[in-house]
């Protein structure tokens, strides 16, 4: 059976824009985030307090969040890798953060200049201080299905990293198929191994990239396992600048179309969402890769 209701965790302004070669102005980013909230997205990840040299596309994080209703109805989380990032986020008045870990050594080094073991030492004070300040913490795990340098990734490694992040105090774990190589049976196996390790489905979110066109099929497989939170990116923007083969995330519009067809509640106004994505695609000077956006515009 399928769940009655799903929460869409929108990552377009962060995961989408971090991978665009052009840098959108602050005004364009703020308008995009406002459009997404107006379209009914219940949570919108807005930017990253990472090193500006690593992700220059989001170097304006403080200026962007300064213009957003951080204490409003819609949570507006930001990525934070370390204590320096947390200081900046707290200074900006952020109420929700997300840390991001790697299941593999190569990506831990390339994305965090750390190691699988070293990343926990980096995150531990971030999570502790955030929780002390009443700030909610989500945790991502990247390369949960395969890694471009190391090949297939065993579920046990992902579960090992994921449970340590939950033990640190993260409330939700987002399982990232960073390079989009996963397929449906692998999704089911990973969710079931988390279950065997005592992690209930309601602590998990799925974060699919659509590199191999599997994102929607994988989302359906995850729905069948009882997953009710899905990350998606408006218009299918996105990728990761530190993973060569990472392309766009699962497009929010594609997910919404499927959920509506399945009779699963999501609260998103598809027409308003498509309008927001088309506007953003124009600002970036390229067409949206989402099939649903193209069909409806
Ligand atoms: P590092 O060079 O090891 O940092 O980078 P460090 O701690 O050695 O510090 C070096 C200098 O950077 C210091 O300045 C720090 O103050 C400064 P100095 O003393 O030399 O003047 N610094 C900072 N400045 C601003 N903000 C900060 C910060 N931290 C240090 N937060 C670091 C380590 C983690 C900072 C770096 O590797 C980094 O920024 N990485 C971020 C990479 C990234 O954003 N990747 C994309 C997001 S992950 C993703 O997309 C995957 C996901 O979507 C899920 C999926 O698809 O799988 C989430
Ligand atoms: Mg991602």
For the segment 142-182, what is each residue's pLDDT rounded down to a tens digit?
999 999 999 999 999 999 999 999 999 999 999 999 999 99
Which stretches within 54-133 are classed as H helix? 61-66, 83-91, 105-112, 116-132
* Tokens matching residue 160: 């090992």
How many angstroms separate the CA atoms of 235 and 175, rounded?
21
> 142 CB under 6 A from ligand 1?
yes
Ligand 1 proximity of 168 Cβ (cutoff 6 Å): no
The whole-number pLDDT of residue 246 equals 60
The pLDDT score that the predictor gives to residue 240 is 59
Nearest CA to ligand 1 atom 26: 51
Instruction: Please give the number of the atom of ligand 1 that sits closest to the Cα of 49.
Output: 31
Q: What is the pairing mode between strands 151-152 and 172-177?
A: unpaired
Alpha-carbon gap, residue 160 to 167, rounded angstroms? 11
Longest Cα–Cα distance of the chain, Å, equals 47
Q: Is the CB of 100 under 6 A from ligand 1?
A: yes
- For ligand 1, atom 1, the nearest C-alpha belongs to 113
Name the percent of the chain lying above pLDDT 90.
92
The protein residue with its alpha carbon nearest to ligand 1, atom 17, reads 51
CA 66 to ligand 2 centroid distance, Å: 24
pLDDT band at 285 (very low <50, low <70, confident <90, very high): confident
pLDDT confidence bin for 244, thresholds 50/70/90: low
Token pair listed for 93: 């008045």
144 is catalytic: no
Average pLDDT over residues 192-212: 97
- 29: helix, coil or strand? helix
Give the span between the Cα atoms of 33 and 188, in whole angstroms.
32
Q: Which of 50, 126, 250 to mutate to test the pocket of ligand 1 (most atoms within 8 A of CB)?
A: 50
Question: Over 90: is that where the pLDDT of 73 sits?
Answer: yes
Q: 154 or 245: whose pLDDT is higher? A: 154
CB of 222 within 8 A of CB of 230?
A: yes
One of 30, 240, 256, 258 is an active-site residue; which one? 240
pLDDT tens digits, 97-134: 999 999 999 999 999 999 999 999 999 999 999 999 99
Measured distance CA(292)–CA(297) in Å, rounded: 8
CB 144 within 8 A of CB 103: yes
**Range in 28-32, 91-95, 174-178, 237-241 with the lowest mean pLDDT:** 237-241
ipTM over 0.95: yes
Average pLDDT, the chain: 96
Q: Quick check: pTM over 0.80?
A: yes
pLDDT at 245 over 60: no
Q: How much is the pLDDT for 52?
A: 96
pLDDT in tens, 27-40: 999 999 999 999 99
Which residue among 51, 54, 97 is best mutated to probe the pocket of ligand 1, counting the most ligand atoms within 8 A of its Cβ?
51
For ligand 1, the distance from its centroid to the CA atom of residue 48, given in whole angstroms, is 9
| Backbone angles phi and psi of 171, in degrees to 5 | -85, -30
Q: Which pLDDT value is given to residue 248?
A: 85
Give mean pLDDT, residues 4-12: 98
């Amino acid at each position: 059976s399928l769940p009655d209701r799903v929460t869409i965790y929108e990552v377009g302004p962060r995961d989408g824009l971090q991978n665009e070669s052009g840098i959108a102005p602050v005004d364009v980013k703020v308008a995009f985030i406002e459009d997404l909230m107006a379209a009914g997205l219940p949570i919108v990840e807005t930017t990253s307090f990472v090193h500006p040299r690593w992700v220059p596309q989001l170097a304006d994080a403080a200026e962007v969040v300064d213009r957003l209703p951080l204490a409003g109805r819609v949570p507006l989380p930001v990525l934070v890798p370390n204590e320096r990032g947390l200081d900046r986020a707290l200074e900006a008045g952020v109420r929700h953060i997300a840390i991001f870990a790697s299941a593999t050594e190569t990506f831990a080094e390339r994305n965090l200049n750390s190691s699988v073991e070293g990343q926990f030492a980096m995150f531990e004070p971030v999570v502790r201080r955030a929780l002390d300040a009443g700030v909610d913490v989500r945790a991502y795990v990247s390369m949960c299905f395969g890694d471009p340098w190391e090949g297939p990734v065993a579920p046990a490694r992902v579960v090992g990293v994921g449970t340590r992040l939950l033990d640190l105090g993260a409330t939700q774990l987002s399982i990232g198929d960073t390079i989009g190589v996963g397929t449906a049976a692998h999704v089911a196996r990973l969710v079931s191994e988390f279950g065997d390790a005592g992690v209930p489905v309601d602590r998990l979110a799925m974060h699919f990239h659509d590199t191999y066109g599997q994102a929607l099929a994988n989302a359906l497989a995850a729905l069948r396992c009882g997953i009710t939170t899905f990350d998606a990116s408006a218009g299918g923007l996105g990728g990761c600048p530190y993973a060569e083969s990472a392309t766009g995330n699962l497009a929010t519009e594609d997910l919404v179309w499927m959920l509506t067809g399945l009779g699963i509640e999501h609260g998103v106004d598809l027409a308003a969402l498509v309008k927001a994505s088309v506007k953003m695609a124009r600002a970036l000077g390229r067409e949206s890769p989402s099939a649903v956006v193209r069909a409806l515009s």
